[in-house]
Chains A and B, each alone.
Chain A
Amino acid sequence: MLRYIIKRILMLIPVLIGVSIIVFLIMRVFSPDPAPIVLGQHATQASVDAWRQANGLNDPIYLQYFNFITGAITGDLGTSYYTKAPVLKEIFSRFPATIELALLAILLASVFGILIGVISAVKKNSIFDNAGMFLALIGVSMPIFWLGILLIIFFSGTLHWLPSSGRIDPLLQPASVTGFYLIDSLISGDMYAFRDAFEHLILPASALAMYSMAIIARMTRSSMLETLQQDYIRTARAKGISEGRVIGKHALRNGLIPIVTVIGLQLGSLLGGAVLTETVFSWPGIGAYTVACILKSDFPVVQGVVLLIATVFVLVNLMVDVIYAFLDPRIKYSKKEV
């Protein structure tokens, strides 16, 4: 198993090289020249040329790529054209916000998605099934920004229960240790800050969870319907164990593999940043920031973010594959055990 994990992590290298080439080319071919954007519309041709020279944009493209990739290997992804801050620092000041949001969203989506899916499958064609699948249909079809706005209007505007934007009340911001406000506030023992950070998370996480929940619920339902038809479910019932145990211990455990796959894919894309949700809730995450950088042709930042997202995606999928082996004893990754 360990060998398999190491092998998979090594396979990340060609993936990252491929991804970096593609994003590098796309930025340079399709994005406008960053120089006039950085320097402003009244910049002289001489200053534009000087800026391009200073940032290496006049070099041949293969040399530019070579410089970028050698820097990347040593952990230097360059500096942002605008803030002049190192790209890594830019990313890591925003990535924890995205992780916090994505993890809570996927947690909500998984818990409710699996619950709805299991109930729908067990009570197939009943009112519960129809209601659950109707909810799932709404979940996949409703635009997330619209749902976000509705949530803000109702829970923030009408009821005044929850804050509408931001990560935390600026006055309560905890000392940054990990960058995760929930963790930082616990470390500093500030329960007010923890509560405030959590309240700020609820609405964006709920909006973000809706789509994933719908996908997970539908996958759970179909997976459970298939599992419940299996002979070993009949065997379990013949043992005289309760129906709850039949479903929870015997059916769900077997039905989990496709569900875990879907959860992994959803988590991977959520960690890539939720542009619309982050925009609606003014969430200082990686998604909206990246889009802004793409529009401003901030090449180093975009390249860095894309590499990070690719890495995260591959790692999440690796995690899913490792979970498979725990869920199903028939799945073995190392040759020895076969």
Chain B
Amino acid sequence: MLLEVKNLRTEFKLKRGTVTAVDDISFTIDKGEILAIVGESGSGKSVTSLSIMGLLQKPGRVAGGEINFKSQDLNKMSQKELQKIRGNQISMIFQEPMTSLNPVWRIKDQIMENIMTHMNISKKDALARTVEMLDTVGIPSPAERANDYPHQMSGGMRQRVMTAMALSCDPELLIADEPTTALDVTIQAQILELLYRMREKFNMAVLLITHDLGVVSEAADRVIVMYCGKIVEEADVKSLFAQPLHPYTVGLLKSIPQIDDESDERLYMIKGMVPNPLNMPSGCSFSDRCDSCMDRCTKEVPKLQEINGHKVRCFLYEAKEGELNVK
């Protein structure tokens, strides 16, 4: 087991109250595994990744839980110790390739900085490695493009550069926070393909954060569905798409337009909106939007139940003798 997140809670202390952006979530990632976290905006998926990296900015803070990376709790480490791990053993690529690179430094300066921070090698070797990484991620004539500034590149190119930078120190875990969201569909496919290839090549684990179920079905081994800071469902990718359990997951899958759907029906929509984090519904946080909402759902918070590796947080199901029964 490479990363084990245990009962992580992340809070934002605001003037109007405390928002629990990540509420008691636990999951693990093995070496070489691609785990996807899906959820809509505000579900806490990005905050989860920033919590792991120790990059939360005030007023956010990890309020509890453990983040064990190779059996060391990242949450207990000082910023100095974390700096040794960030960009080295765990690295990250972000959603906005257009703004995530520093506009005033050359591509090579930015990648070499990462390499030379963590590896004890000469400038010349760092440059050679930079060019090699740019080549690996599919940048044509990498030696020349290394001298470019970010504004001389397209969004897809910049995301490749970000990926090259993130992979430059052979990380064991790559956190990809919506790596394809800002890109065209064709470029999306290329970047996903690249992540896949890199995983194979370096046996690196990937925590893929996305709101795009298409991306999940294509890339992930295992999926966690998050809603309002909680894990509502977790399963391997096949069973999630074949047999979604939680009404939220069902809703998400139903609201994807199908290209071969010839009926004239309106596309399904989950009713309502994500609740205000300062004003959550009592009981299950999805209760006010759920088609199958029962009395009990508005009073008690359901627990995450697990059967055969498929976990779900819903009163519709009851774990009994190794099988998940619909009530």
A residues with CB within 8 A of B: 230-232, 234-243, 249-250, 253-254, 327-330
Is there contact, CB below 8 Å, between B151 and A238? Answer: no
Which of B53, B85, B103, B165 contacts A328, CB < 8 Å? B103
- B306 contacts the other chain (Cβ, under 8 Å)? no
Shortest Cβ distance from residue A243 to the other chain B in the assembled complex, whole angstroms = 7
- B75 contacts the other chain (Cβ, under 8 Å)? no
Is there contact, CB below 8 Å, between B55 and A234? Answer: yes
Is there contact, CB below 8 Å, between A235 and B94? Answer: yes
B residues with CB within 8 A of A: 53, 55, 79, 82-88, 91-92, 94, 96, 99-105, 113-114, 117-118, 149, 151, 162, 165
Residue contacts A-B, CB under 8 angstroms, 15 given: A230-B99, A231-B100, A235-B100, A240-B82, A240-B83, A240-B88, A240-B117, A241-B83, A241-B117, A243-B79, A249-B105, A250-B105, A253-B105, A254-B104, A329-B151
CA distance A149 to B83 in the complex (A): 50
Is there contact, CB below 8 Å, between A330 and B88? Answer: no
CB-nearest residue of chain A to B53: A238
Is there contact, CB below 8 Å, between B100 and A234? Answer: yes
Interface of A is mostly: helix
**A254-B104, A327-B104 as given contacts; A238 in contact with B55, CB under 8 Å:** yes
CA distance A236 to B103 in the complex (A): 12
CA distance A237 to B113 in the complex (A): 12
CA distance A253 to B151 in the complex (A): 16
Residues of A within 8 A of B100 (CB): 231-232, 234-235
Is there contact, CB below 8 Å, between B102 and A254? Answer: yes
Residues of A within 8 A of B151 (CB): 329-330
Residues of B within 8 A of A330 (CB): 103, 149, 151
CA distance A327 to B103 in the complex (A): 10
Residues of B within 8 A of A242 (CB): 83
Shortest Cβ distance from residue A128 to the other chain B in the assembled complex, whole angstroms = 15
**A234-B55, A234-B94, A329-B149 as given contacts; A240 in contact with B101, CB under 8 Å:** no
Which of A232, A239, A243, A329 contacts B114, CB < 8 Å? A239
Residues of B within 8 A of A243 (CB): 79
Is there contact, CB below 8 Å, between A254 and B103? Answer: yes
Residues of A within 8 A of B53 (CB): 238
CA distance A243 to B87 in the complex (A): 14
CA distance A238 to B53 in the complex (A): 7
CA distance A242 to B83 in the complex (A): 7
CA distance A234 to B55 in the complex (A): 8
* Most-contacted residue by chain A among B85, B99, B100 (CB, 10 A): B100
* Most-contacted residue by chain A among B88, B102, B105 (CB, 10 A): B102
Which of B79, B82, B85, B102 contacts A235, CB < 8 Å? B102
Is there contact, CB below 8 Å, between B86 and A240? Answer: yes
CA distance A237 to B92 in the complex (A): 10
* Most-contacted residue by chain B among A230, A241, A327 (CB, 10 A): A241
* Most-contacted residue by chain B among A235, A242, A250 (CB, 10 A): A235
* Most-contacted residue by chain A among B82, B85, B99 (CB, 10 A): B99
Is there contact, CB below 8 Å, between B94 and A241? Answer: no
CA distance A232 to B102 in the complex (A): 5
Which of B79, B92, B99 contacts A232, CB < 8 Å? B99
Residues of B within 8 A of A240 (CB): 82-88, 114, 117-118
Shortest Cβ distance from residue B165 to the other chain A in the assembled complex, whole angstroms = 7
Closest 10 CB pairs of A and B: A240-B86, A240-B87, A239-B87, A231-B99, A232-B102, A240-B83, A231-B100, A238-B92, A329-B149, A239-B114
Shortest Cβ distance from residue A80 to the other chain B in the assembled complex, whole angstroms = 49
CA distance A327 to B100 in the complex (A): 19
Residues of A within 8 A of B99 (CB): 230-232
CB-nearest residue of chain A to B84: A240
CA distance A241 to B79 in the complex (A): 10
Shortest Cβ distance from residue A85 to the other chain B in the assembled complex, whole angstroms = 50
CA distance A187 to B1 in the complex (A): 72
CA distance A249 to B105 in the complex (A): 9
Residues of A within 8 A of B82 (CB): 240
Which of A230, A234, A241 contacts B113, CB < 8 Å? A241
Residues of B within 8 A of A239 (CB): 86-87, 91, 113-114, 117, 165
Shortest Cβ distance from residue B108 to the other chain A in the assembled complex, whole angstroms = 13
Which of B55, B84, B104 contacts A237, CB < 8 Å? B55
CA distance A231 to B182 in the complex (A): 14
Is there contact, CB below 8 Å, between A232 and B103? Answer: yes
CA distance A237 to B100 in the complex (A): 11
Shortest Cβ distance from residue B59 to the other chain A in the assembled complex, whole angstroms = 11
CA distance A323 to B284 in the complex (A): 58
Is there contact, CB below 8 Å, between A238 and B103? Answer: no
Residues of B within 8 A of A237 (CB): 55, 86
CB-nearest residue of chain B to A237: B55
**A236-B102, A330-B149 as given contacts; A231 in contact with B83, CB under 8 Å:** no
| Known pairs A239-B91, A241-B83, A250-B102 / 18 extra A-B pairs, C-beta < 8 Å | A231-B94, A231-B99, A232-B99, A232-B100, A232-B102, A234-B55, A234-B94, A234-B100, A235-B100, A237-B55, A238-B53, A238-B55, A239-B87, A240-B85, A327-B104, A329-B103, A329-B104, A330-B149
Is there contact, CB below 8 Å, between A241 and B103? Answer: no
CA distance A109 to B297 in the complex (A): 64
Residues of A within 8 A of B84 (CB): 240
Residues of B within 8 A of A327 (CB): 104
CA distance A327 to B104 in the complex (A): 7
CB-nearest residue of chain A to B82: A240
Shortest Cβ distance from residue B156 to the other chain A in the assembled complex, whole angstroms = 17
Residues of A within 8 A of B118 (CB): 240
Which of A231, A236, A238, A329 contacts B96, CB < 8 Å? A231
CA distance A253 to B105 in the complex (A): 9
Residues of A within 8 A of B79 (CB): 243
CB-nearest residue of chain B to A327: B104
Residues of A within 8 A of B85 (CB): 240
CA distance A230 to B100 in the complex (A): 8
Residues of A within 8 A of B96 (CB): 231
Shortest Cβ distance from residue B224 to the other chain A in the assembled complex, whole angstroms = 22
